[in-house]
A and B are shown apart, each in its own frame.
Chain A
Amino acid sequence: MRKVIVGNHAVSWGVKLARAEVIPAYPITPQTQIVEQLSEMCASGELDARFIKVESEHSAMAAAVGASATGARAFTATSSQGLALMHEMLHWASAARHPIVMADVNRALGPGWNIWTDQTDSLAQRDTGWVQLYCETNQEVLDTTIMAFRLAEQLDLPVMLVLDAFYLSHTSEPVDIPDQELVDGFLPKRQARYKLDVNEPHAFGALVRPDDYMEMRWQLHDSLRSVVDAYAGIEREWAQLTGRSYGAIEPYRCEDAELVLVTTGTITSTARHVIDERRERGEKLGLLKIKMFRPFPGELLREALNGIPRIAVIDRNLSAGHGGIFAEELRSALYLGDVAERPDLRGYIVGLGGRNVTPETINDIIDNALSTEPVQRPDIWVGVKA
């Protein structure tokens, strides 16, 4: 079935098809439509799930943890300050190995109060042990939602799927909605490895002494590192069923490129258009979209960017006092590569707080990246008013 729906509803449809069982949620713009539609689906009986209205996002994640601990498939959604408020429970979810799926609609953190898109909210949670998958289109949002549950439950890890506020969340696109039977075959009912059982009570989350704590974290880390391969396998299966896959990273026209733009989210679509145009004019330009931020697919990136002399990373986010987060992560990943082949990598900060990133913006970045003048600082702010 093909429907024209907004990105938020693509999430809701994905969650419905995934047959989530417990949905604790607290509304926040711009994600509210996601849980609003889910609450309607629960109320109408289309979705057989317990929808729990909670008093805060901290409680939403706590309730998701509780539900997951009983073996249920749990989902929630949030944005910005709501995600920040969840921070403590995000650690709990991952370290207790709860395969919770959450949608984060990227929104700038206040103050100044701002509801528009900006990736800093999700990227600020990079060390919480959650898988993070960034989406470019509404179709990708729906597909990723369903695959996220498979991935989460296969490895007992929580997964955050991330979409841009308004550019995806409130923008309508045609989306192919798979049949329930197809999804049921792809994503059977959750079989929890550990769960609360009143008939066989165990203590969960109790004190762990230095003797064992490191081993538990090693296992968490190891499971996260295995996500890249596991995700590839899951996508292959999804592609067989639907013909669609996205990749943890997606190199686009990178062959023989002298400059590769690195993007995430909806900026990728704009950049794709610019790259096509300038390729027409004979310029050797490529594009690389990063979908998976945690675990960071360093190996895939080193391979894809091998031999590329110039790289321009476009960040709609900011690690204040340091720079664009994707640029810093990529720079760190490439450090493990061949020192002699190290490219000229420039990080561009754009579009914070939802400022529009247009083809002109991308063209300016390309022009700057192609110039041979050495850059004075690692982060270049684009379009900042004097």
Chain B
Amino acid sequence: MSESFNAIPRHTPPISVSSTSTEVNRTGSWKYIQPAYHDRVAPCSAGCPTGVDIQGYMTLLREKRTAAAAELLLQENPMPAISGRVCNHPCESSCNRCEFDGSVAIHGVERMLGDRILEGRLPGSCRIRHAEHVAIVGSGPAGLACAYHLVRMGYHVEIYEQEQLPGGMLRIGIPEYRLPRAVLDRQIEFYQAMGIVFHTGCRAGEDVSWEHLATHYAAVFIASGAHVSRLLSLEGDQAGRLLLSGLDFLHRVNSGERPDLGRRVLVIGGGNTAMDCARTALRLGSEVTVVYRRTREEMPAIAEEIEDARREGVNFRFLLAPESIATLDSGLRLSCRKLKLGELDAQGRRRPLPTAEPPLELEAETVITAIGEDSELHMITADLDDVRRAVNTWSCERFARIFLGGDVAGDERTVASALGAGKRAAIGIDRHLRSHNGEHFPDELLEEMSIGRTGALSMARWMHSDPVRRVSPLNDVVRPEEINTASFAHEERHEDHHAEFSLSFAESNTGLSEAEALAEAMRCFQCGVCNECELCQIFCGENAITHDSVNGRFVIDLDHCKGCGVCTAECPRGAILMERLAGQD
């Protein structure tokens, strides 16, 4: 026993430390759920009707790979310089950064990239890889998008356009101060260089027969737009002769005319055409008042357009329904019933209801109506719904060769939606033609190519060139609560610059500088896609995550991952999901 008093321990280490490696302890056997890296869909892409891989090109920009970023953008969006200017950018309202410190100024980044592309060299002619020729009716954004994607796939494409210059609504409907003609013209030059053939001044059904299109082309895409202004029937002017159609007015001004509208102009309507008419009339020197039957909240126009119109001096009169018009010596007198808002309608907007108050009378030299446009449906002989179904399900043999998209198909009337429709048609045409050549495309493919649930298709997916290894379904969109905002610092969003205030037709919004656009790319949360930030590796208590530098990804040692989920919780961008192991309920 003597040694037990004040003996010096020789065999015990001074601290509790295992004598062997802990690798033998397979803590992975404890788990019932395990993490997996999922390259998921960012909400911006899901919100974009064109399905642009926004997170993807932001990542490339952050890595200073501007050319690669531009190429990725161009894979889905044929005209970023244009959409960066005129799109209502639903990507930004979907951005997970909204609640944090304001969405990423995606449109500004897109515009900067688009401008760099247009400033560059013209592209070479696309190589023809298919024997089939495709005809497209209409050279608006839907027709151009379809043609663009098809020539990139290797088809010979010809566009028929009734106007003298291509562009459709981009040219005749959008004022120059929002979309300078130089940008549009340069974009068209790019398309011509790629090999798209334009037949301008050539109206389908008149200058070229439908029979010719049906027999000389393997497929036809009809994207003829909506060019018929809805008629407003008023007491005292049933035929609408005293009223100026908004679209006609814009067409004239956009073609170079500068009509004298008189001192006072009334614009009836609350959509984008109404805003374009109001701001254009303002530039022609008139005092402009917009008359709308609901309130500002219900106006369908893009919020920035309404704000710009207000800032430039357009007056707004809400809750008024024009009922009669009369000619005076001094001009026109519009008599409007006063309205109030009632219950919600089917679209979730409050329905305007008449009041018993005496009518309000407004006087002006010119009254413009912009209450919506319709397509010239008579040009299409088939039942519209059947055609649309054929496009959307790929399955209707009767109309397999005829595709329809954009405003003419009743899509949401935005440039982004038209670009998405054109892409959808290009994929449908490619599938149709290749099916005829013996290839098989299962119906599930359509869902696999869908981004989010908005119906946009991924061209990257169709072309098997998706730079991101998306292993989960493409419609698995990262929700804001999946973002670990503790990993991000607040940084103020960069807003577009505006030239000194002037009411001219020159573009006043000068966008973002290249440095600002890069700073916006740095603000991107990169939702859903691992950017190798290492937080998972740092926080993994089991040291079970290692970096595979060859493939640029993290690998989980499942023998030692005990399924604690700290990686998922710490991942700033929702790129890691916990999955239940088979047989574990």
List residues of A whose CB falls within 8 A of some B CB. Answer: 95-97, 156, 194, 198, 200-208, 212, 215-216, 218-220, 222-223
Contacts and interface: CB of A to CB of B under 8 A. Distances in A.
A206 B12 contact: no
A216 B15 contact: yes
B22 interface: yes
Contacts of B14: 97, 156, 216, 219-220, 223
A194 B16 contact: no
Binding site secondary structure of chain A:
loop
Given A194-B17, A203-B17, A204-B17, A219 B22 contact: no
A152 to B, nearest CB: 14
- Ranked 4 nearest A-B pairs via Cβ: A215-B9, A215-B12, A203-B18, A219-B14
B21 A96 contact: no
23 contacts: A97-B15, A156-B14, A194-B13, A194-B15, A198-B543, A200-B21, A202-B18, A202-B21, A202-B22, A203-B22, A204-B15, A204-B17, A204-B18, A205-B15, A206-B16, A206-B18, A207-B16, A215-B9, A216-B9, A216-B12, A216-B16, A219-B9, A222-B8
B11 to A, nearest CB: 8
Nearest to B18: A203
A194 B17 CA distance: 9
B159 to A, nearest CB: 60
Most buried by A among B9, B21, B543: B9
Given A96-B16, A202-B18, A223-B14, 18 more contacts: A95-B15, A97-B15, A198-B543, A201-B21, A202-B17, A202-B19, A202-B21, A202-B22, A203-B17, A203-B25, A204-B17, A206-B16, A212-B12, A215-B12, A216-B15, A216-B16, A218-B9, A222-B8
Nearest to B9: A215
A201 B22 contact: yes
Nearest to A97: B15
Contacts of B23: 201
Contacts of B9: 215-216, 218-219
Interface of B: 8-9, 12-23, 25, 543
Contacts of A215: 9, 12
Contacts of A223: 14
Tell which of A156, A202, A205 has the most Cβ of chain B within 10 Å.
A202
B16 A208 contact: yes
Contacts of B17: 194, 202-204
B486 to A, nearest CB: 12
A129 B23 CA distance: 32
Nearest to B6: A218
* Interface hub of B14, B18, B19, B20 (most chain A Cβ within 10 A): B14
A63 to B, nearest CB: 14
B323 to A, nearest CB: 66
Contacts of B16: 96, 204-208, 216
Contacts of A95: 15
Nearest to A202: B18
Nearest to A198: B543
A97 B12 CA distance: 14
